[in-house]
Amino acid sequence: MAVIPVDIAGAPYEVRIGTGLLANLAAECGALLRKHRVPIVTDTNVHAAWGAVVEDSLQQAGHEAVWRILPAGEASKSWEQLAATTDWLLAQEVERGDHILALGGGVVGDLTGFAASVLKRGCKFIQLPTTLLAQVDSSVGGKTAINTAAGKNLVGAFHQPALVLADLAALDTLPQRELKAGYAEVVKYGLLGDAAFFGWCQANGAALLAGDPAAREYAVAHAVAAKARIVQADEKETLGLRALLNLGHTFGHALEAQTGFGARLLHGEGVALGMVLAARYSAERGLLSDHQAEQIAQHFADVGMASEIASLGLNCNGAALVAHMLHDKKMDAGTLPFVLLRGIGEAFLAKDVVLDDVAAFLDRELQRLV
């Protein structure tokens, strides 16, 4: 098992990464579980796959699992589910010092974390991420949110978990497409700050996706350690460091918006394409070589992911994609900062990007032969 400390001032915690953590849940949580009844928020899919394992572990330690089971899917990150979940937690008489368990992917973690942040002005919670994306990104660092009519993640809070248990066994029950989508966020850490790790991904990404346990543990631990370093240095994204974690997200968000934020393009798939676009746009500006940008596109293609937006059949122009970007929560006094690359492993925040240039660049990408 790998243990990565996240040294946030006033709220330090550990991320433990290994196989069998859910089967051993009660022991892993230890004294954090203060009461007989343990409130757990999850979704229908994760409950079907992991509910019995979690329940058994708690039962053997003399606890009783009490469940709030959300419909699986992004639609659960809503005001309605937030209200219903907080009402449910209040009905369970959860106290500030109790720990609410969030068992699932980013939707469950974001909603539960936000509920914990507002319940009684702040309750404790434990992240039990069951997707690769949640293990390497959303469960660590304390970003919590719901979606509203105006857009995704526009209402939320920074609220750090008390513990994160990333059970690699959960990745075995994950559909290959979701695993690949999460893998994009793994590659992100190489591209933004660690060229050697991108090299590792080129050599080992296929093995990771095929289920190699050592590759999985190495990648998740490496990604979490990278995220912990960034979050420790810039918890609230005010110094321009944490913003680097948004590499590929501005382009990706526009693609997700254009495809309706649904099954047509998963978040991680949008991020992979977004990172290819950020790299090619950086190359157009002379920051990165064409060869480096194409190495990135090639890697996603090599592991069976889309690497060309022309393949999406979007039926729109670059200006339409840029229009989606204008609703980005990173908009700052009329400008939109973009994470670009000066090299593989050298991301930086560019504040001088002209959106008309981006639209023209996207027009070319939309026409690119695939």
Exactly one of 141, 193, 248, 318 binds ligand GLY (CB under 6 A); which one?
141
Q: Given the complex with ligand GLY, which of 124 and 143 has the nearer CB atom?
A: 143
Catalytic status, residue 63: no
> Strand (E) positions, 105-182?
124-129, 143-148, 151-158, 163-167
Q: Look up 185 and say whether it is catalytic.
A: yes
Q: Establish if 242 lies at the interface with ligand GLY (CB under 6 A).
A: yes
**Closer CB to ligand GLY, 98 or 110, in the complex:** 110
Q: Which is nearer to ligand GLY, 184 or 245 (CB)?
A: 245
Is-catalytic flag, 267? yes
Q: Does 253 bind ligand GLY (CB under 6 A)?
A: no
Judge whether 253 counts as a catalytic residue.
yes
| DSSP structural state of residue 175 | -
CB of 214 to ligand GLY, least distance (A): 26
Q: If DSSP codes are grouped into helix, strand and coil, which group holds residue 319?
A: helix
Listed ranges 137-145, 210-218, 271-279, 344-352: which one lies at the site for ligand GLY (CB under 6 A): 137-145
* Strands (DSSP E) found in 136-233: 143-148, 151-158, 163-167
> Among the options 152, 216, 242, 324, which is catalytic?
242
CA separation, residue 59 to residues 16, 34, 63, 66, 359 (Å): 22, 14, 5, 11, 56
- Phi, psi dihedrals of residue 8, rounded to the nearest 5°: -85, 130
Question: Quick check: is 284 catalytic?
Answer: no
Tokens of 362: 């996207």
| Of residues 120 and 229, the one with the C-beta less far from ligand GLY | 229
Strands 99-104 and 64-70, bridge-based pairing: unpaired
137 binds ligand GLY, rule: CB under 6 A: yes
Distance between CA atoms of residues 344 and 14, nearest Å: 29
Catalytic residue among 227, 280, 299, 324: 227
Active-site residue flag, 143: yes
Which position among 178, 185, 269, 365 bears the catalytic label? 185
Which of helix, strand or coil describes residue 198? helix
Q: What CA–CA distance (Å, rounded) separates 79 from 86?
A: 10
Q: Is 235 in the site for ligand GLY (CB under 6 A)?
A: no
**Please, are residues 305 and 266 in contact by the beta-carbon 8 Å criterion?**
no
Evaluated on CA atoms 242, 189, 181, 359, the torsion sign reads: positive
Kindly tell me which of 99 and 143 has the beta carbon lying closer to ligand GLY.
143
Please count the other Cβ atoms lying within 10 Å of the Cβ belonging to residue 155. Answer: 16
Q: Which residues of 278-297 are buried (b: 16+ CB within 10 A; e: fewer)?
A: bbbbbbebebbeeebbbbbb
Instruction: Specify the stretch interacting with ligand GLY by CB under 6 A; choose among 28-36, 96-104, 136-144, 152-160.
Output: 136-144
**Which CB atom, from 98 or from 235, has the smaller least distance to ligand GLY?**
235
Minimum Å gap between C-beta 245 and ligand GLY is: 4
Least Å distance, CB 11 to ligand GLY, is 15
Is 246 catalytic? The answer is: yes
As a whole number of angstroms, the distance between CA 258 and CA 345 comes to 29
Cα 159 from Cα 306, distance rounded (Å): 34
Confirm whether 264 is a catalytic residue: no
Minimal distance in Å, beta carbon 236 to ligand GLY? Answer: 10
249 is catalytic: yes
Count the Cβ atoms, other than its own, within 10 Å of residue 30. Answer: 9
User: Is 121 annotated as catalytic?
Assistant: yes
Binder of ligand GLY out of 33, 89, 145, 245 (CB under 6 A): 245
Residue from 124, 143, 280, 324 touching ligand GLY (CB under 6 A): that is: 143
Residues that bind ligand GLY (CB under 6 A): 137, 141, 143, 242, 245
Positions marked active-site:
121, 143, 185, 227, 237, 242, 246, 249, 253, 267
